[in-house]
Every structure is written in structure tokens, then in C-alpha cells.
Amino acid sequence: MAQTPGFRLKVLASGLHQLANKCDKASSDLSADATPPAISTSGWTTSAVTAHVMAERAAKDVSAVAAHFAARAVHFNLEGTAFTQLDQHGAAQLRGVGR
């Protein structure tokens, strides 16, 4: 990714955990919506079959997006924890320098 002169990103462990929670919620919401609706086949069998196939494909796509959000949530939580540990390790090293 190209560097933007003067651009700074401030990362906080709590922000990564908040982002993880939002991704996890989005994943849950999408998973709940991924069930294809029931479609009546009355007199329009061909159209109903086509609509059902398309609904199943859409549900599969939504499930894939939900899985991606869930994976990102796990990643952000791990990064938030690692960031905190790295920060604590750095602080401990700095305390050792002053002794």
C-alpha cells in the first residue's frame, strides 16, 4: 500500500476489539438473514424454481460474507490482544532501561 505523506493512523487495542465486536455482530445478522424464503410453486412452477435457485445462491453469498466478517472479527481480536501484549512488553523494557 502506498504511503501518504503526513498521514498517521492511531491504533488502540480497544478500537480493534470494538471493530471485532462490530464484525461479529454483522456476521450474526447476516447469518440470520441467509435462510432463503419459502416460495410457493402454485401455477408458476418454472418461475418459482428459478426464484428458489436464485434465492439459494443469494443465501450462499450472504453466508460467505457472514463467514468473512466472522473471520475478520477473530483477526481483529487477536490483533488487539497482540497489540496490548506488545505495548506491555515495550513498557517493561523501558522500565528496565531506567534502572
pLDDT digits (tens, 9 = 90+) for 25-83: 888 888 877 676 666 656 556 777 888 888 888 888 888 999 999 999 999 999 989 88
Is residue 3 in a domain?
Answer: no
Is residue 5 in a domain?
Answer: no
**According to the model, what pLDDT value does residue 70 have?**
92
Cell of 15: 478500537
Q: What is the number of structural domains in the chain?
A: 1
Q: What is the CA radius of gyration of the chain?
A: 23
Is residue 36 in a domain?
Answer: yes
Is residue 12 in a domain?
Answer: no
Domain of 76 in residue numbering reads as 18-93
Is residue 9 in a domain?
Answer: no
For residue 97, how far is the Cα from the chain centroid?
A: 40
Residue type, 51: A
Q: What are phi and psi of 41, to 5 degrees?
A: -105, 10
Task: Give the Cα separation of 82 and 88 in Å (integer).
Answer: 10
